[in-house]
Structure 1
Amino acid sequence: MRSGTRTARATAAAFLAAAAVALAPLPTAQAAPATKVLHAAPHGTGTSCTSGHPCSVEGARDAARNVTGRDVRVELADGTYELRTPLKLGADDSGVTWAAARGARPVLSGGRALTGWSANADGTWTTKVPNGVVPRQLFVDGERAVRARGESCAASVCDATRTGMTGAQATGISRWARPTDAEAVIRVRWRNYHCRIASVTGDTLAFAQPCWTNSASGTDRTGPAWDSTAVDSARYSKVAFFENARELLDQPGEFVYDSAARTVTYLPRKGENPRRFHAVTPATENLLVLDGAHDVHITGIGFAYAAYSQPSTDEGYAGMQAGLTLTGATGPVDHAGRFYTKPAAALTVRGGRHVVVDHASFTRLGGAGAVFEHGTQDSTLTRSRFSDLSSGAAYFGDTDPMPAPELAGAHNTVSYNTIRRTGVEYTDAVGIWAGYEAGTVIDHNTLEDLPYSAVSVGWGWNQPEAQQSVLRANRVTNNRITDVMRVAYEQHDGGAIYTQGAQPGTVVSGNYINRSAYGNTERDGNGIYLDEQSSHITVSGNVLTRLGYKWVSNWADYGIDNHATGNWTDTDTPALAGTGSTLTDNHTKLDRLPAEALKVAAAAGAEGHDRVEQLRPDLARTGTATQSSTDGTAGAARAVDGDTSTDTRTLAEPGAWWQVDLGAGRHIGQVEIWNDASMTTAGFDVRLASSADFSDATTVHVTGKALRPTVLATDTRARYVRVELTGTGRVGLAQVQVHP
């Protein structure tokens, strides 16, 4: 390991030396005495580009190329710029500012309006789709509609193999009029799959290729080699749902696309009138593409209704991690994900230098918001808003661990952005992804309501191809991350902040993380997750509360030299694996955040607010815990010690129970029940009583398994709190909290 570290550092030094040359200021033309202002408007024409006769955006681009000195500002008037093809800027377009005119809110749109709706007898409405458009999303008066979907199908019925799946008869798919327009949506831990049905034979479903092969095991291209999250793996438990079949169209706000008739059929929500509403489907990918441009400033421009066409093709969506997919029927063997494909984005910057995007908005997108790739350096994405995106918000860098210096991502900044409700369709996507980046800063962003991890830095797992890389000196600081790894989306094994790979000098500091995987059923939703080979990382001064599992996870022995210090959290300190890793001066097992922690949390994020969810006092921590029996793993007190990563368990017996004596009668407003690793506590009563014999107990029954946590509002007075099985089995708990 030490020898490998010396080699990696030597390689890093060589990279940084080369990068210094690549990052040297580029020569620019002599600036003109005054800025030349060109005007563009949604229906602009011609080449004069004056305020009285504005150009189209393409016309303004072409006019800017003819300006001597290149001190040019293109101002976009208010309105929607409907693009049938991307607006492309290259090296010849360097040095130009693209900005909203004063008081204007221009929007580049890839949408196509769907009009001419006709009523059907069943309350649905249908319209024709323009040629060349394949509607995958539909927005009605700005609100996202849902592709018609059915219920989940358990693996016992929909049994997935490398070649297909059973269940066509039990699900009714064999009787659908157009099953080959429908897709199976599958979630396996951190992966998400969308593959179209290709044929139905008896009870067997076959799927479009190469989507299904790339989603299954055996390609030797799906890494790491030890991975067991393919559709035909032991971890596969069900199809989350099938979607886009007319037979599934039964809920208001759903739609279906018929590829043969080229129609969209929609079931309106209450109050919607298809004769008057505005329905738009994303149709154009990549609204703005900068390829090799430098010193470009894009400010105050909106991006909406950009498409992402790949999932609707035979490639489908074979999700690998973080919104990247495996594509192509064949390809080189590589278990570190070097050849995975990023999602299509509304804004793409390739090989950019000193590109600034600020005060932009990205909304109602079929794919991702922005991608900065192929050696983009010294560029900034700041003070922008992302909401209602099918994939992730922002992607920085690439998946090659040792690219040529001119192709390495370095010194980029993602700051003061607000990211909410992304990954709506592709739930394995993350908010901000940085691959093999050096010196990238992710600072003061607000990320809320995301299905999987919020911020992901690094790539390559523990694979040989990834063990020497350009990763280093990245900073994830002062971000506000709340309500992520949302349980409803069933994506597991992630964290609010997630890292991979050795990255000397990387710092994770000053972040406020609240409710990551809160209410989960598995203990794999973390606060800060130093995964696979993560090494040489400092985690300091973060505030982490209400997490489904560990506040910091460094589980792998080959992740070394990580240091967590001065953090605040409501759970106990987990062990850190790896040579040289340390935990020092952390403030753990808190049931109230002290003033210093509140100050850090309030300062985090893009919006400058001071809203922090204070912890509630936990009466159970000072109580006396007992249980009906023990299986020898741990005593009853384990469940009140503030550590959700360890468990207490009873024997399997009728009426098994665990309880805590608070010492005196207290008002109890809320009880949290945290399940253990094996999720053994299921079908149980929570009983609250003033007397030790529970003769005066108030009882709340919980059907099914306890979550992490199951939260019960109680509003009663009691001294004793008991968790008691109503059937046969174990009481297995990680923690019980009792709040006044």
Structure 2
Amino acid sequence: SRERPAGEPLRIVVHPGQYFLETTLQLTARDAGLSIEAAQPGTTTLLGGRAVTGWEPDGERFYAADLPAVRAGTWDFRFLVVNGRLCDRARLPAEDGFEHENEWTVPWMSTTGGGWKRKPTEAELTTLQYRAGDLGPWLETRNAEVTVYHMWDESLVPVKAVDHATRTITFGSPAGHPPGAFGRKKYVVWNTREGLTQPGQWYLDRARGKVVYWPRPGEDMRQATALAPTLETLISIAGDNQAKARDITVRGLTLALTNTPCKAGGFGAGHYRGAIEAANAENLTLERLEIRHVGGQGMKLQNVNGSRITGCQVHHLGACGIRISGNDTTVSGCHLHNIGLAFPSAIALSAGGRGGSGLLLTDNVIHDTPYSGITCGGDNHRIERNLIYRCMRVLHDGAAIYVSMCRKIRIARNVARDIATAGPGYGASAYYLDEQAEECLVEDNVAVDVEHPSHNHMAWNNTLRGNVFVSSGNMKLSFAKSRDYTLTDNTLVLAGELAITTPEAIIAERGNRVFRGTAPAGAEAPLEILAALPLGAAPK
């Protein structure tokens, strides 16, 4: 932005329309007091890409557009939007995944314990043996990419080479864990012509320098609007150790269309960039933004203090919705859904981190996520009055709300429902206190249709109070390797069996009630759920 006298506010109003950015908008400490606003919220869109035109038939069912920059190796992308829809990438198999033959039996010693008992070799991180019949000599290595699924995260890696005699794929970059770790065998191959199995899918043919799309019924590619990303970040707000970026507002804009590289994203898909990023900043206001169709994070905010993120719609993303670390910042009234579409370890709202304190995450609605809804670390945070449902749909060892490496976090008056385990693995829960969670309070929360409402692992001196857990089947509360728990005034409503693992972790218990849905053989016995819930806590 232009130079101006210190302290003079500046307000930029962006008129309705679509604006394609060629470079990231960079804001720094010199922009203190700046406000960037849409003239009318929801009518102004900033896009980090370009239109794709010149579609021609490519075989009987497909259309292709020639992209010289792709052929030259100067443009690569993993996301395509056609007529306002984020399109599915070509994949093999068409559903779920293949099973590979790698074995990795080295024990995991926990995060606190340093991870793997033996460090994996480069070969163990970069090779995968596929089963006979899954792949063949038709596989184009310049196009193909592989997602290797682990327990709580995954690795997206390029294919460097394939030895069909030994059925071995060699990756172009290492996976985060060895294929086969945690007993997980699943993998998916992306971006091949053979993976186009239904209308609406696409792939980037790097070998020919074309993007190929299978139109849906009624789509005319001569009239269609197709967009592909070029940028990883649209807006960057960055201070430094000498001068923080401060007092900057972004309000009412729609941010869309960003890219990600092909690399392993790590826990929570945290290695990817955000459509809007901030670092070393304070007193920011991000308000009534819509962020959609982006490849990485919606927001990635690091060391951000005293700020406010409110009323934002963040949806249909490749990775996380909002990632934030810092102190004394509020995230409220946001709607986060359909995230992790490319990277299933993505978290809708990931907050805290070591050294952070005083965050308030409240009144947010979160749903349709492949992994956890909210995760949090650090001290003295509050997670209150959030509605979270249909989480944990792909990966394991997470929850609607998951906290670890933390002290004195208050989890209160949240509702979690419809959280189910996706196949064999470490499972899913509603409220999960993991390694080094200490002196936390889980109070007045509701879990409905969650068989495992409370999971606790390597945590201590925590309290569960006044919660209502409802299951139409069995129910389990677990306290593995935990100690010094207090359970008071909790209500459990279940139709099946109740299991409590490691009950010796509970040192004080009083006022807890269990309602069982039992009836004579042949008679129906609907659960009296509302009678068991505290006044005003009934989920909608």
TM-score band by shorter chain is: 0.7 to 0.9
Partner residue of 1:542? 445
Higher RCO by CA contacts (8 Å cutoff, separation 6 or greater)? 2
Tell me which amino acid in the other structure corresponds to 1:433. Answer: S
SS of residue in 1 equivalent to 2:220 = coil
Q: Following the alignment from structure 1 to structure 2, what is the Cα–Cα distance between the partners of residues 645 and 523?
A: 14
Q: Per the alignment, do residues 258 and 187 of structure 1 end up closer, same or farther by CA in structure 2, a change over 3 Å counting?
A: same
Tell me which amino acid in the other structure corresponds to 1:207. Answer: T
CA contact (8 A) 1:589 1:642 kept: no
Q: Per the alignment, do residues 584 and 130 of structure 1 end up closer, same or farther by CA in structure 2, a change over 3 Å counting?
A: farther
Matches within 5 A, 1:708-723: none
Structure 2 counterpart of 1:261, from 203, 208, 211:
208
Q: Following the alignment from structure 2 to structure 1, what is the Cα–Cα distance between the partners of residues 14 and 520?
A: 69
Partner residue of 2:497? 641
Q: Following the alignment from structure 2 to structure 1, what is the Cα–Cα distance between the partners of residues 490 and 33?
A: 48
Pair 1:422-2:339 in alignment: yes
CA contact (8 A) 2:100 2:130 kept: no
Q: Per the alignment, do residues 501 and 68 of structure 1 end up closer, same or farther by CA in structure 2, a change over 3 Å counting?
A: closer
SS of residue in 1 equivalent to 2:319 = coil
Partner residue of 1:366? 295
Matches within 5 A, 1:720-739: none
Partner residue of 1:377? 305
Q: Following the alignment from structure 2 to structure 1, what is the Cα–Cα distance between the partners of residues 92 and 24?
A: 35
Pair 1:138-2:41 in alignment: no
Q: Per the alignment, do residues 163 and 116 of structure 1 end up closer, same or farther by CA in structure 2, a change over 3 Å counting?
A: closer
Pair 1:109-2:47 in alignment: yes
CA contact (8 A) 2:282 2:307 kept: yes
Could you state the TM-score of these two structures normalised by the residue count of structure 1? Answer: 0.61
Structure 2 counterpart of 1:184, from 138, 141, 146:
146
Whichever structure has more strand as a proportion of its residues is 2
Q: Following the alignment from structure 2 to structure 1, what is the Cα–Cα distance between the partners of residues 489 and 449?
A: 20
Query: Sequence identity of aligned pairs in percent?
Result: 25
Whichever structure has more helix as a proportion of its residues is 1
Tell me which amino acid in the other structure corresponds to 2:310. Answer: T
Partner residue of 1:92? 30
Q: Following the alignment from structure 2 to structure 1, what is the Cα–Cα distance between the partners of residues 41 and 468?
A: 43
Pair 1:153-2:81 in alignment: no
Q: Following the alignment from structure 1 to structure 2, what is the Cα–Cα distance between the partners of residues 284 and 427?
A: 22
Partner residue of 1:395? 323
Rg (Cα) greater in structure = 1
Pair 1:322-2:268 in alignment: yes
Partner residue of 2:255? 303
Partner residue of 1:533? 436
CA contact (8 A) 2:102 2:180 kept: no
SS of residue in 2 equivalent to 1:481 = strand
Tell me which amino acid in the other structure corresponds to 2:309. Answer: L
CA contact (8 A) 1:526 1:553 kept: yes
Structure 1: 5+ residue stretches without partners: 1-60, 217-229, 325-341, 398-408, 459-470, 591-617, 619-639, 647-659, 671-740
Tell me which amino acid in the other structure corresponds to 2:248. Answer: V
Could you state the TM-score of these two structures normalised by the residue count of structure 2? Answer: 0.83
Q: Per the alignment, do residues 109 and 158 of structure 1 end up closer, same or farther by CA in structure 2, a change over 3 Å counting?
A: farther
Q: Following the alignment from structure 1 to structure 2, what is the Cα–Cα distance between the partners of residues 190 and 162?
A: 17
Please, what is the CA RMSD of the aligned residues?
A: 2.5
CA contact (8 A) 2:100 2:129 kept: no
Query: Shift of the alpha carbon at 1:109?
Result: 0.7
Pair 1:294-2:275 in alignment: no
Partner residue of 2:176? 215
Q: Following the alignment from structure 2 to structure 1, what is the Cα–Cα distance between the partners of residues 365 and 518?
A: 41
Q: Per the alignment, do residues 187 and 82 of structure 1 end up closer, same or farther by CA in structure 2, a change over 3 Å counting?
A: same
Pair 1:120-2:58 in alignment: yes
CA contact (8 A) 1:536 1:560 kept: yes
1:558-591 alpha-carbon deviations (Å, 9 max, x no partner): x21110100011155725463322111101125x
Query: Shift of the alpha carbon at 1:322?
Result: 1.0
SS of residue in 1 equivalent to 2:493 = coil
Partner residue of 2:523? 666
Q: Following the alignment from structure 1 to structure 2, what is the Cα–Cα distance between the partners of residues 347 and 363?
A: 12
Q: Following the alignment from structure 1 to structure 2, what is the Cα–Cα distance between the partners of residues 418 and 104?
A: 15
Tell me which amino acid in the other structure corresponds to 2:272. Answer: P
Matches within 5 A, 1:177-256: 178-201=140-163, 202-209=165-172, 211-212=173-174, 214-216=175-177, 230-233=178-181, 235-239=183-187, 241-256=188-203
1:214-258 alpha-carbon deviations (Å, 9 max, x no partner): 434xxxxxxxxxxxxx3142513232x211111222311111111
Q: Following the alignment from structure 1 to structure 2, what is the Cα–Cα distance between the partners of residues 417 and 164?
A: 41
Q: Following the alignment from structure 1 to structure 2, what is the Cα–Cα distance between the partners of residues 384 and 74?
A: 20
Query: Shift of the alpha carbon at 1:666?
Result: 3.5
Q: Following the alignment from structure 2 to structure 1, what is the Cα–Cα distance between the partners of residues 132 and 520?
A: 59
Tell me which amino acid in the other structure corresponds to 1:484. Answer: C
Pair 1:579-2:435 in alignment: no
SS of residue in 2 equivalent to 1:200 = strand
Matches within 5 A, 1:71-86: 71-86=9-24
Q: Per the alignment, do residues 394 and 661 of structure 1 end up closer, same or farther by CA in structure 2, a change over 3 Å counting?
A: closer
Q: Following the alignment from structure 1 to structure 2, what is the Cα–Cα distance between the partners of residues 665 and 321?
A: 48
Query: Shift of the alpha carbon at 1:377?
Result: 0.7
CA contact (8 A) 1:180 1:199 kept: no
